[in-house]
Amino acid sequence: MRSAKFLLLLISLNVVSNIVIAAPPTCPAHLGGDCANGSGEWEGEFFPGIPKIKYEGPSSKNPLALSGIMLKRDSWKKMKDWMRFSVAFWHTFRGTGGDPFGAPTKMWPWEDGTNSLAMAKRRMRANFEFIEKLGVDRWCFHDKIIAPDGSSSLLMETNANLDEVVALAKELQGTKVRPLWGTAQLFHHPRYTHGGATSSELGVYLYAAAQVKKAMEVTHYLGGENYVFWGGREGYQSLLNTDMERELNHMARFLEAAAAYKKKIGFKAQEPTKHQYDWDAATAANFLRKYGLIDEFKLNIECNHATLSGHSCHHELETARINGLLGNIDANTGDPQIGWDTDQFMMDVAEATLVMLSVVKNGGLAPGGFNFDAKLRRESTDVEDIFIAHIAGMDTLARGLRNAAKLIEDGSLSELVRKRYQSFDSELGAQIEAGKGDFDLLEKKAIKWGEPTVASAKQELAEMIFQSAL
Amino acid sequence: MRSAKFLLLLISLNVVSNIVIAAPPTCPAHLGGDCANGSGEWEGEFFPGIPKIKYEGPSSKNPLALSGIMLKRDSWKKMKDWMRFSVAFWHTFRGTGGDPFGAPTKMWPWEDGTNSLAMAKRRMRANFEFIEKLGVDRWCFHDKIIAPDGSSSLLMETNANLDEVVALAKELQGTKVRPLWGTAQLFHHPRYTHGGATSSELGVYLYAAAQVKKAMEVTHYLGGENYVFWGGREGYQSLLNTDMERELNHMARFLEAAAAYKKKIGFKAQEPTKHQYDWDAATAANFLRKYGLIDEFKLNIECNHATLSGHSCHHELETARINGLLGNIDANTGDPQIGWDTDQFMMDVAEATLVMLSVVKNGGLAPGGFNFDAKLRRESTDVEDIFIAHIAGMDTLARGLRNAAKLIEDGSLSELVRKRYQSFDSELGAQIEAGKGDFDLLEKKAIKWGEPTVASAKQELAEMIFQSAL
Amino acid sequence: MRSAKFLLLLISLNVVSNIVIAAPPTCPAHLGGDCANGSGEWEGEFFPGIPKIKYEGPSSKNPLALSGIMLKRDSWKKMKDWMRFSVAFWHTFRGTGGDPFGAPTKMWPWEDGTNSLAMAKRRMRANFEFIEKLGVDRWCFHDKIIAPDGSSSLLMETNANLDEVVALAKELQGTKVRPLWGTAQLFHHPRYTHGGATSSELGVYLYAAAQVKKAMEVTHYLGGENYVFWGGREGYQSLLNTDMERELNHMARFLEAAAAYKKKIGFKAQEPTKHQYDWDAATAANFLRKYGLIDEFKLNIECNHATLSGHSCHHELETARINGLLGNIDANTGDPQIGWDTDQFMMDVAEATLVMLSVVKNGGLAPGGFNFDAKLRRESTDVEDIFIAHIAGMDTLARGLRNAAKLIEDGSLSELVRKRYQSFDSELGAQIEAGKGDFDLLEKKAIKWGEPTVASAKQELAEMIFQSAL
Amino acid sequence: MRSAKFLLLLISLNVVSNIVIAAPPTCPAHLGGDCANGSGEWEGEFFPGIPKIKYEGPSSKNPLALSGIMLKRDSWKKMKDWMRFSVAFWHTFRGTGGDPFGAPTKMWPWEDGTNSLAMAKRRMRANFEFIEKLGVDRWCFHDKIIAPDGSSSLLMETNANLDEVVALAKELQGTKVRPLWGTAQLFHHPRYTHGGATSSELGVYLYAAAQVKKAMEVTHYLGGENYVFWGGREGYQSLLNTDMERELNHMARFLEAAAAYKKKIGFKAQEPTKHQYDWDAATAANFLRKYGLIDEFKLNIECNHATLSGHSCHHELETARINGLLGNIDANTGDPQIGWDTDQFMMDVAEATLVMLSVVKNGGLAPGGFNFDAKLRRESTDVEDIFIAHIAGMDTLARGLRNAAKLIEDGSLSELVRKRYQSFDSELGAQIEAGKGDFDLLEKKAIKWGEPTVASAKQELAEMIFQSAL
């Protein structure tokens, strides 16, 4: 296994330590020294020097402007229909720059060093100012990331805290902004050491169910379009001390109960997108098929994770698409020389073009979208770096969409593919594709045809066409 | 993709270049200089200095004897029921030591430098002498490896050659030896450049079907217990020039036709084990489920391939077992520092112990078995090295079985696992496992139970117990 | 790069977040609720249920006893001369089970939730009780791990704290226990975000130098046998914003100053072992040679890191040994399916045997040794698990030494190697090895000799001999 | 080890099996059926439908034209000074499409199915027609690839064959074309199973020396600018049967003899570029330093190999450059999902831009250059595919050079880097860089300075600037 737990190794798991280590070590003077109880109010803007981000055209050198070339035939608005960008609350507002090797490095001025309810609300205000300045209209959240636990981990007190922050979020959302999705964080707390739905402890299974139930309710209340199941701890460390079959059965029971509850509360128009809960898209599909859940869930493909499991992101997207399961994309990328999730912002235009080719083939992602499940490098410590990174990520995908459009309009690539398979567009080919080609018939035809001709696959030509569109 | 083609990346593909480069560069004088037509007869033994291999006990230092400790409670005969060892004709008799970097290095004395029918028969005699001296009773083969193609690749002439060699094999098999499985080689010939069942060329699909039909017939005729589908070319190089969905549909049509033909010719008692035709066991299972083929096929797990796809061999075996798909094992291993199939003989007792734990849990592998799909290193060029390698492979698995038996009889490990999950052995646990735990009930219980207790997973203890059995 | 920073990617870096997150979330009642200032005293034993660990022979099933078979010809005492085991203070006493995905899980009863000076002393007492019960006589430490920083990061106050804890450690060491080595932690604090010796900030270079100077002094004071340079942050994230040449020059200047200071304070008899400060042993050797530091430093090989850089641990040990640089070993291991440092206890006897073969060839490791730079899995949360893991690690290496001795005494393997190269033991071979074989001579001999003979490398036989010793 | 043999795992090793399997299976009718002795002459052009390749500007859709945008300030001729492109004879004319899984697929019309001297000459004519039409003026070769061995492997007869083909090449070269480099192939023949310079057999060492001596002579005779040492077999499979120290000493003796012979025959003005003879650039540098060969050799960096050893190509180039060892580049690339050398043509403009940034910093590569050590995919079987692949490779590097020029002229990136290190541009910084900052001084300054300031590394901004230049 590449991950601590092989099932449900997911997106953005690095967020988890934030609750503990999010706070800067000292109390900022500008908050009036009132850090102990976190009641210090924040006056004015959170991002005072940052303008509303605008599109300034492809030759702009302003790092605080968008330069991704718009489609000739399209307005920026139309481009947004393809993109459906979403800000990830955890990386953007709870990411601290801490890593297994080092302490937090982000000293955001609005943080007061606590995980209090007041701090949670101030942070939520910063989130909506950021969204407004960036010009997107979706956001994603985990329950534990937006509100603190109650004392003694009592569920009811914890849920009350969540309700209070969610009420503020609903107010700040206004009429235009909505969650792309919400989720429950079932991996950071020590109780989830052995997993949530697949924990060896019955009590943990119960707690996880209660937490997911609540997270589904608040996502629904906020007008969320999807609900995601994460599974960072659903797996195993060693088969020697694990009953894998029993754990998988428990996970299936858990998801069945969630699907039933979704219907009960009337989460109606939208399919809950299902996170990639396992090694790769095909493994997830096998699980859903085995337990009869294939129609209830879709997959949330994370590019960084695709490469960690030995696939290209494009392969995972196409595998999900062909299985009818492409629901959502985590728009991040890894480092080819690093063997773990680095969750960098995607800045490679070639990769973005391949991603957008799949998205266009899929007819878009709605009700899913692109979540910027990506974080600033630990060494990037200026407030403006948060904007720069998101802008570069948006521009990269915009360029990818433009290139995909160019390739599709040009048509050479799809023509090259069509020609390769044209022998199957014959009568005999159609018969085989309809399942009517038995071995006796095929042998007879093979003897008649003799040695078949085999054409060049023209791979270098295909790559040349692709590169020339970039 | 880690392989040339991502689907059906399979076992022992390295064998493929043998047909072309199998022959030693010069004509051995002992064959009377009659190499041109390959009619030179081979007198006497093929392995004159090698005795019939015997078990000499654990302290034996004789490299030409077995030393794997027999189970106290068992005879060697009983051990063989678990093992069902099989000699892989291709690596053992067509492996040349050639690699992408170098020419053949094996100059076996019985080879005359040709790929003639006479040479094919002489080689088959060597195969059965080898099997007899080694003391196993199963072998595996590809069609193209045991008999040469007819001129001009005419199917009927090619099939006639195959029939002639197969008739000899049937005679040499006697009453005790049988194929563990046979298969059709659909990847070496240039016609299969773009795949067989997934080729972009209809003519190739036809040819592949005719070849599989024949290979199924001769495997059945020889009393083979299983038939394996290989797929070394069934996949893609680049998605830019590939229609993955159409290719996968073709593969499903192909396997449906094969399953139908199996019934037609009365390949009755045995399930054809299906090779791991994709990235990993879960991906293969997803394919079989999607196309309704899950009851027709089982998987052939190759340990070397498991590690290439980022899994442990043990994980793949357990995944296949839990899905009811564990059919056969290719007993080889890779090099953890090398990123391709090296197909070495498995010589790590710890790995063999994990393998045998899965096999015992599966109630054995029959009608499947262990095929020594492994080859001598290129630098190992003595005839005796063939025996040494097989003996070491057999001993390693025998020690693995002994250790697995010790662990099972001792019971500490399974007790440690049982205890971990005991909270689910309660009334509430049983209710959940039966699919009767909805979210309302679970939340109620969670509130009542409060913060759950979480026990140590005792992983180091589990590893200590495991290691002490080796 | 596989690590955050490519230079000096080192051992046990996972320890770093301990200072921040080491504390259990609540104040243990047994400490009298006096957690706020950390002055609560700890009465009696830290490990009340654990006996002094003894050797009980190979068939012992007691997990709290040693069972590694002693060498026939040797006493346990003699075995310790080879082993020179050392407890790693950071993993053992500051490891919390936190990971990038989750909160701490270890709730050791002696911890009071603070990083106070009082807590640091209590922890040091636990360390020496552990060492005494385990029966080893060496330990390793980082400066920041054993004592808290002074307020406001003032160097002088911080150094005073360190002096106070070090004085206690000196008293507790008694006459038998000594540090195997000490080091300065230059990677956890945000000031080291861009590295210490290779930081882009001059002020950080100064601070790092002052910190190393102090750490060398206290290691010397405690009778430490070696001083180690870590470099978890000495490297780069992206070449786009990095001047690699200048950073490497700074690192060389830094190590020169350290080598000079070592002589000044009379760290005389022992060579400071140098940590593997780069990708692998050969890269480290190139750096030391380029800057004329090859005689001042040795390497500290970490097995887990060796595999992360694509080598086997055995290869790294032999490369270091051949270059005369093998100084110390971090006795840990990784997970072949995981692409980052997991720092597990080494429990694979085959790997341990290869390690011990190199150690014996090197004539032992003194003044270096084996540091258990390994941590409990996150899910292992019982106090006894700390003992079980160390005992299994010690037993594994003891078995490795026994097997290495068996192989050396048996002599078959070294004889197999000697024979392979015997053609160079001729007069002509000696001439060439002495650098007196020019191309004219060699060509003349080649023409005379004709096609050379090439013997089998007998790799499977070598593996069979190796495995039979386990 | 990732390679069969860890030392000298090199460029383009896949070429090696060509000698054996290069020929198409049947004799082309157009050659008059005179295949047996290979004397059939080839009339007219080898590439009749292919025009002389021209630059048609960036918007060209003609796959048989160059479209890489020329530098504004430069002529194409000037661009060629940076590029110094070279055709690799082996991949282009001896590559067959065979792989470990399959038979040859390239049926080039001029091949007659033999490895005769006549065929060697015809192939050489095709090579120079290709070079002329492509418009480059350098080529690279191995001795065994351009001429057949004499019967019975007699050195003198083999050398005579080589002389005959080399004489023709000299004539065809005319006044404009020269070898970028030549080399001796020491890995394909079974005699090199255990290596050449590091073989365990003295006779093989002799033979290798004679072969290198001859290859140096003919490269010199053809006006070659460099001589490369390959080492595809110089390494080991298992340390169990290997004396690594002795093998490395032999390799050093061998290279010393080569360096001496170079001077003797007056290979004067040019440095022989040394191939990357080991794991990575740093390992190679360590070897050269240890044996005092650092001034005699430079490195030939292969991008595909860089990624296989866990580095980025850019890292390897910069490491070589900083060590003063950057000599030559093999312009190929691998597949990030494949763990072996695929030697594809480099078609990623972002990667090409990073490569060219290093080349420009190095002041160009002369007397080295870019060798297209890349091969057509096995499935690309049209003659025009050879041109398409080379054109795409040339265009990609041309775009990379243009982008590098844009980044250098723009200056934002180098300014960002300069600013990061500016604190070292102070008096104290200069003192430290001059080696005059001892620990006493540094500690004093650290205490005075207090907690250092640490700026953001602006990595996302650096990436944004880089991407916007593409």
Tokens of B238: 């680049």
Put the strands of the sheet holding A370-372 in their side by side order.
A226-227, A178-183, A138-142, A85-88, A370-372, A326-330, A298-302, A273-275
| D381 has a chain C CB within 8 A of its CB | no
DSSP state letter for C330: E
In the numeric block, the tokens 């693995």 are attached to: B400
Residue C34 or A59, more confident: A59
**Window D:60-99, CB contacts with B under 8 Å:** 97-99
The residue ranking higher by pLDDT, A106 or D283, is A106
pLDDT tens-digit map of B425-437:
999 999 999 999 9
- In this complex, which chains have at least 3 CB pairs below 8 Å with chain A? B, C, D
Could you tell me which chain A residue has the CA closest to the CA of C186? A102
In whole angstroms, what is the distance from residue D362 CA to residue D406 CA? 17
pLDDT tens, B78-125? 777 888 999 999 999 999 998 888 899 999 999 998 999 999 999 999
Residue A135 has pLDDT above 70, yes or no: yes
- Give the angle A183-A187-A191 at the CA atoms, nearest 5°: 120
Do C464 and B63 make contact, defined as CB atoms within 8 angstroms?
A: yes
**Given a cut of 70, is residue A69 above it in pLDDT?**
no
Determine the average pLDDT of the residues in A390-404. 93
Query: Is residue D249 within 8 Å of residue D203, measured between CB atoms?
Result: no
Q: What's the mean pLDDT when you consider all of chain A?
A: 84
Distance CA C417, CA C414 (A): 5
In the structure, what pLDDT confidence band is assigned to residue A234 with cuts at 50, 70 and 90?
Answer: confident
Any CB–CB contact under 8 A between C309 and chain B?
Answer: no
* pLDDT in the model for residue D60: 86
Which range (A96-105, B144-153, C41-50) has the least confidence?
C41-50
Asked whether the predicted pLDDT for residue C385 surpasses 50, the reply is yes
Distance CA D451, CA D461 (A): 26
Nearest Cα residue to C18 out of C111, C125, C109: C111
pLDDT of residue C153: 60
Lowest pLDDT segment from A131-145, B318-332, C62-76, C453-467? C62-76
Q: Are C332 and C345 in contact (CB under 8 A)?
A: yes
Q: Whole-angstrom Cα distance, residue C174 to residue C171?
A: 6
Contacts of C98 in chain A (CB under 8 A): 17, 20
Helix (H) or strand (E) holding A326, with range, is strand A326-330
The string of pLDDT tens digits covering residues A398-426 is 999 989 989 999 999 999 999 999 999 99
Task: Report the residue from A311, A379, A454 with minimal CB separation from D337.
Answer: A311
* Model confidence at A446: pLDDT above 70: yes
Minimum mean pLDDT range among A31-45, C17-31, C345-359 = C17-31
What is the C-alpha to C-alpha distance for residues C202 and C208, in angstroms, rounded to an integer?
10
What is the pLDDT averaged over residues A95-119? 91
Question: What is the pLDDT, as a whole number, of residue D8?
Answer: 22
Which residues in chain C touch residue B461, judged by CB atoms under 8 angstroms apart? 63, 385, 388
Residue D296, token pair as written in the block: 């005699």
Question: A48: cis peptide before it, omega within 30°?
Answer: no
Contact C182, C224 (CB under 8 A): yes
- Chain C's closest residue to A232, CA to CA, is C101
**Token pair listed for D239:** 């340390």
pLDDT digits (tens, 9 = 90+) for C253-294: 999 999 999 888 877 534 444 444 456 888 888 888 988 988
Lowest-pLDDT range of B62-76, B153-167, C208-222:
B62-76
Percent of chain B residues topping a pLDDT of 90 = 57
D454 touches chain A (CB under 8 A): yes
ipTM of the complex: 0.85
Tens digit of each residue's pLDDT (9 = 90 or more) over C125-183 = 999 999 999 999 999 999 999 999 987 667 899 999 999 999 999 999 999 999 999 99
- CA-nearest of C299, C276, C443 to C368 is C299
Task: Tell me: cis bond preceding B452? Omega within 30 of 0 counts.
Answer: no
Tell me the range of A74-83, C229-238, D408-417 where mean pLDDT is highest: D408-417
Nearest to D457 among A377, A455, A460 (CB): A377
- The pLDDT, as a whole number, for residue D152 is 66
Residues 6 or more apart whose CB falls under 8 angstroms from that of B118 comprise B37, B38, B39, B40
pLDDT higher for A108 or C333? A108
Q: Spell out the domains of chain C, with CATH numbers in brackets.
A: 13-409 (3.20.20.150), 413-468 (no CATH)
Q: Which residues, other chains included, contact C344 with Cβ-Cβ below 8 Å and sequence gap of 6+?
A: C304, C332, C333, C334, C335, C374, C375, C377
Whether D237 and chain B come into contact, CB under 8 Å, resolves to: yes
Question: Quick one: tokens of A453?
Answer: 């001709």
State mean pLDDT over C83-94: 94
Residue (of A90, A249, A76) closest to A182 by Cα position: A90
Write out chain B residues lying below 8 Å of C351, CB-based.
none
Contact C377 A192 (CB under 8 A): no
Please answer yes or no on whether D432 and C205 come within 8 Å at the CB atom. yes
pLDDT string in tens for chain D (470-residue length) = 232 222 222 222 222 222 222 333 344 444 444 444 444 466 678 999 899 998 888 888 899 998 876 655 555 557 778 889 999 999 999 999 988 878 999 999 999 989 999 999 999 999 999 999 999 999 999 999 999 998 766 789 999 999 999 999 999 999 999 999 999 999 999 999 999 999 999 999 999 999 999 999 999 999 998 998 877 788 888 889 999 899 989 999 999 999 999 888 876 534 444 444 456 888 888 888 988 988 888 888 888 877 777 788 898 899 999 999 998 998 888 876 666 677 889 999 999 999 999 999 999 998 899 999 999 999 999 999 999 999 999 999 999 998 998 999 999 999 999 999 999 999 999 999 999 999 999 999 999 998 899 999 999 999 999 998 88
DSSP B141: E
* Model confidence pLDDT, tens digit, residues C403-437: 998 999 899 999 999 999 999 999 999 999 999 99
The pair of three-digit structure tokens given for residue B275, joined into one six-digit string? 């090779």
Cβ atoms within 10 A of the Cβ of C178, count? 16
For residue A155, pLDDT beyond 80:
yes
CB contacts < 8 Å between A and D, how many? 112
pLDDT tens string B378-412: 999 999 999 999 999 999 999 999 899 899 989 99
Element spanning B327, H or E: strand B326-330
* pLDDT value of residue B19: 26
Residue C311 has a pLDDT of 82
**Does the beta carbon of D414 lie under 8 angstroms from any beta carbon of chain C?**
no
Give residue D395's pLDDT.
92
A30 is catalytic: no
Instruction: Report the mean per-residue pLDDT for chain C.
Output: 84
Instruction: Please judge whether B210 and A256 are an interchain contact, meaning their C-beta atoms are less than 8 angstroms apart.
Output: no
Closest CA to D247 of D197, D284, D193, D177: D197
Name the residue in chain A with its Cα closest to that of C379. A193
D412 lies within 8 A of chain C by CB: no
Non-local (6+) Cβ contacts of B239 within 8 A are: A312, A314, A315, A318, A354
Asked if C329 contacts C83 with a C-beta cutoff of 8 angstroms, the reply is no
Show the tokens assigned to D206. 């002799």
Q: Is the pLDDT of residue A333 over 90?
A: no
Residue whose pair of structure tokens reads 């055209």 in the numeric block: A57
- Give the pLDDT of residue C41: 61
A133 — pLDDT class (breaks 50, 70, 90): very high
